[in-house]
Structure 1
Amino acid sequence: MALKAHAQQFPDLYLHERAAIFDVHTSSMGRMLKKLGIVKKERQYKERCLMKRQEFCKKLKAEHRMFGFKNLIDVDETGFDAPTPRPSSWAVKGCRIFGEITGQRKRRTNLLMAQRHGAKGREKEWLAPMLFKGSCNAQLFEMWVEQCLMKELHEPTIVVMDNSSFHNHKRVQDILAKGYLTI
């Protein structure tokens, strides 16, 4: 019973870490957990937004191939946290494990970049990558579009952006319109 309670209290421990606590061999720990009905499961992360984005990109690539857009780029920003979550945990068989994102605000390293899609939709090229600390806001995004991205674009381009609030600012649209770009 102590092992089952421990597994429920600390589901993220690796098998060898748990075996060291109970002073048993790793393979013995695995067998004991299995007898208690506790199995290792992959965490279920919410990927609905990612799936929608991938569907949109597939549709856009198909139109790209069909209509022959000369230049198509995708703009996005992402962040990298210092601590990495463990992708799996131990739980009672039949129970789902959900990954949790804490509400803590930590300084992150972020990447803002554009990606050019080739004529066949397979070749990809990074444009104007920029690493920065902290959050991305409208002022930073506008500066990046004007000073970094516009220097990389030399012909009419379709720019695809996600639904971040600062992507839809009139100033960003004006900057892109100066370069004869389509949003």
Structure 2
Amino acid sequence: ERLEYIEKLKEIAQNLLFYIDEMGCDNKLSILRGWSLIGEPSYGEVLAYQTQRRSIVAGYNYADKKIIAPLEYSGYTNTEIFNQWFEEHLCPSLKPKTTIVMDNASFHKSSKLIEIANKFDVQILYLPPYSPDLNPIEKVWANFKKIFRKVNNSFEKFCDAISYVFNKILSD
């Protein structure tokens, strides 16, 4: 399946190819490494409970390295949220005949989503199963979380930290 997918990508104009994905973070995200004496474990403080969850969904064009139609919201992604974002934010910002690449999350597979794609004359191409490495926006989200872990505790409000990091990534 991976080879078939890669062959399909070769047929698509890069300026008409957008990758989408969702990313979530909560205030439990913390630094993954620390300093300690050789042979000694490193300890740090983390919250024992989750108090806030924020999610972001966006599109990404690898050819020009631009994020489009970002939407930040509280909670987890579901079919209703995803379809609304797809119809109201993503599709209006795309040209007809654009191909949108996404993973196989259940909320990416609704019949309503196919209707919306047809309405805007865009195509959906699903990644092969278990292939996040073939979705360039995953690297954007990994960078987001890397920066977020470093700055989260610097902000009084969790949402301010998310906004800071997202604006930093958009400007890079």
Pick the TM interval, shorter chain. 0.5 to 0.7
CA contact (8 A) 1:71 1:117 kept: no
Paired letter, 2:57: L
Q: Percent identity?
A: 24
Match of 1:164 among 105, 110, 113: 105
Match of 1:117 among 59, 62, 78: 62
CA contact (8 A) 2:16 2:95 kept: no
TM-score for both structures, normalised by structure 1: 0.53
Q: Which structure has the bigger radius of gyration? A: 1
Per the alignment, residue 11 of structure 2 pairs with 67
Match of 1:151 among 89, 92, 112: 92
Quick one: structure 1 residues 166 and 124, their matched pair in 2 at CA, closer, same or farther if it must change by over 3 Å? same
Paired letter, 1:158: T
Structure 1 residue 76 corresponds to structure 2 residue 21:
yes
Deviation at 1:103, TM superposition (A): 9.8
Per the alignment, residue 108 of structure 1 pairs with 53
Deviation at 1:67, TM superposition (A): 2.8
- What per-residue deviation string (whole Å, max 9, x for no partner) do you get for residues 114-155 of structure 1? 11222xxxx211111011111111111111111111110122
Give the match's secondary structure for 1:88: coil
TM-score for both structures, normalised by structure 2: 0.56
Deviation at 1:92, TM superposition (A): 8.9
Q: Matched residues in 2 for 1:157 and 1:92: separation? A: 53
Q: Matched residues in 1 for 2:93 and 2:117: separation? A: 12
Deviation at 1:105, TM superposition (A): 5.2
Provide the aligned C-alpha RMSD in A: 3.1
Quick one: structure 1 residues 156 and 103, their matched pair in 2 at CA, closer, same or farther if it must change by over 3 Å? farther
Match of 1:141 among 59, 79, 82: 82
Aligned residue pairs, count: 116
* Moved >3 Å (runs of 4+): 89-93, 102-106
